[in-house]
Amino acid sequence: MSSKKLKYLIKSQSFEFAKNIEDKSYRISSLNWNNIKVRYRTGSSDMVLIYEILLKSKYKREYYFPEGLKPMVIFDIGGNIGITAIYLASLFPNAMIYTFEPLKENFEILKLNASQFKNIKVFNVGLGAENGSFKVYLSDDHENFGGASFYSEVEGSLSKSFSECEVKNVNDVIDHLDINSIDLIKIDTEGAEYDILTSINHKFLKKTSWITGELHGNRDFELLNYLSNMGFLISLNKNIDNRLSIFNAGTQESVSKLSRKERKLF
């Protein structure tokens, strides 16, 4: 048994889940996590998301959300198949979670996963600076099936393989939802993080307590500088040889309430 299969077996306690790593039929299967049925495509990047976000120990998961946060409104921007939304719903059962996923193939599984929760609302659109459409280039890497990018030149993406997706102005969406604030934002939008976050009304974004997500090498430091100038405290986990990085941005009040162990993560 490979080390990867062994790790997945130990964390999931499911022989089927571990075995499905090598199943490249990409059929829909499911894993029982905390009595929640989590659907995924076998042999795809879906399984990596489940391992990194749901199965790893609390302080080693891909995204960390401070224990002291009590968000009532959460935006999950780049919802994929709903793994982060499931995790957020388990952490913050009193919050309303709005999940946005433009890619139809992912959205169909997202709907299935979110249907178990009354506090997750799903939208088959991307968010951006203006209304329109954009191309999402699909991964050509068998190990990253289900992955995508806005950029055809990214390794594992082909310019001939793409989906046309709808995008809506983020402020129009906020107005339509008739919400007064977004307390927490998770964002992973394959390089559109700068465009989306800097488009949110400045006064509105300042009400947000915590932002976390993945950056993809597109105006990353401009975005972090923008958030810093708004008063957010920033942390960044980046390897010099990897264009991807995980960042956190918290208000001074939120960061001041972190425990000693949480501060090490921040």
Whether residue 142 has pLDDT greater than 80? no
pTM of the model: 0.91
The region of weakest confidence among 52-56, 100-104, 161-165 is 161-165
185 burial level (CB within 10 Å; 0-12, 13-18, 19+): buried
Q: What is the pLDDT of residue 90?
A: 96
Whether residue 254 has pLDDT greater than 80? yes
Question: What are 145-198's pLDDT values in tens digits?
Answer: 555 555 555 444 444 566 788 999 999 999 999 999 999 999 999 899 999 999
Q: What is the pLDDT of residue 250?
A: 97
User: CA 150 to CA 137: how far, in whole Å?
Assistant: 6
Tell me, what DSSP letter sits at residue 33?
A: E
Beta-sheet pairing, 28-33 with 36-41: antiparallel
Q: What is the pLDDT of residue 243?
A: 87
Q: What is the pLDDT of residue 228?
A: 97
- CATH class given for the domain over 3-265: alpha beta
* Spans of all domains in the chain: 3-265
Q: What is the pLDDT of residue 40?
A: 98
Among candidate residues 176, 182, 221, the one with its CA nearest the CA of residue 203: 182
